[in-house]
């Protein structure tokens, strides 16, 4: 899914020569906003959040990064975003400047990152549409379906299990809602039979995806 899967043999060798594996524990920061921008990374496993600071100093989640995703701000001298592990994560880390030099000579990596960048722009536009045009139920249901597509594990009885990597407060910020609204919508999805909420923790069972999908994308 990531850089290594897209690279041909020569490009993979060039990546291997500059990369190193790095484990991040949940809560550990990969890069801080305002620091020198010295590295980038491909996510091998785990989930990270990308945050920006507002004018009043408040932290706002602007993205989630999953296994197979690339994280980093290429061609920037200073980081403008903070990247933090939400769960224990495994990364392949590269010095930014050396990675840029490899990318300039590695057409397969350059094409892959261009495709990922365009996909990220499309995701950003879709999220802006979600926040601007969709109601609370659609936002929450869509968020859960995104997690299903990226992290779901199928249980023995056929249900789909996801672990929500953020708190309800962070989910509310990400979706432009209040915590109370997120909680009400999760309860409503449970009443409709689309999900089951685990007691304690953040696990959710998607018991009826066919019921959840039209709630996220009503006609």
Range scoring the smallest mean pLDDT among 52-56, 117-121, 202-206: 117-121
Q: Is the separation of the CB atoms in 84 and 49 below 8 Å? A: yes
pLDDT digits (tens, 9 = 90+) for 167-209: 899 999 888 899 999 999 999 999 999 999 877 668 899 989 9
> Residue 170: left if φ>0, alpha if ψ -120 to 50, beta else—which one?
alpha
- Evaluate the CA torsion angle 139, 143, 149, 150 in order and state its sign: positive
- Evaluate the CA torsion angle 27, 32, 33, 39 in order and state its sign: negative
Pick the CATH number of 134-216 from 1.10.10.10, 1.25.40.80, 1.25.40.10, 3.30.310.10: 1.10.10.10
Q: Which CATH class is domain 3-130?
A: mainly beta
pLDDT digits (tens, 9 = 90+) for 134-153: 899 999 999 999 899 888 78
Question: Rounded to whole angstroms, how far apart are CA atoms 4 and 70?
Answer: 11
Domain(s) of CATH 1.10.10.10: residues in the chain: 134-216
């Amino acid at each position: 899914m990531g850089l290594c899967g897209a690279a041909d043999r020569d490009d993979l060798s060039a990546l291997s020569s500059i990369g190193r594996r790095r484990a991040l524990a949940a809560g550990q920061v990969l890069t801080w906003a305002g620091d020198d921008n010295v590295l980038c990374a491909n996510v091998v496993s785990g989930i990270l959040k990308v945050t920006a600071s507002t004018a009043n100093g408040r932290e706002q989640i602007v993205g989630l990064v999953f296994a197979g995703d690339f994280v980093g701000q290429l061609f920037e001298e200073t980081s403008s975003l903070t990247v933090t592990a939400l769960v224990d994560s495994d990364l392949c880390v590269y010095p930014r400047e050396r990675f840029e030099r490899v990318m300039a000579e590695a057409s397969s990596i350059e094409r892959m990152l261009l495709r990922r960048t365009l996909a990220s722009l499309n995701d950003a536009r879709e999220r802006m549409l979600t926040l601007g045009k969709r109601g609370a139920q659609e936002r929450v249901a869509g968020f859960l379906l995104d997690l299903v597509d990226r992290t779901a594990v199928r249980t023995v009885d056929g249900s789909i299990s996801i672990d929500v990597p953020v708190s309800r407060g962070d989910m509310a910020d990400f979706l432009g809602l209040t915590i109370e609204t997120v909680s009400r919508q999760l309860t409503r999805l449970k009443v409709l039979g689309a999900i089951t909420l685990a007691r304690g923790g953040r696990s959710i069972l998607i018991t009826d995806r066919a019921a959840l999908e039209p709630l996220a994308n009503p006609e």
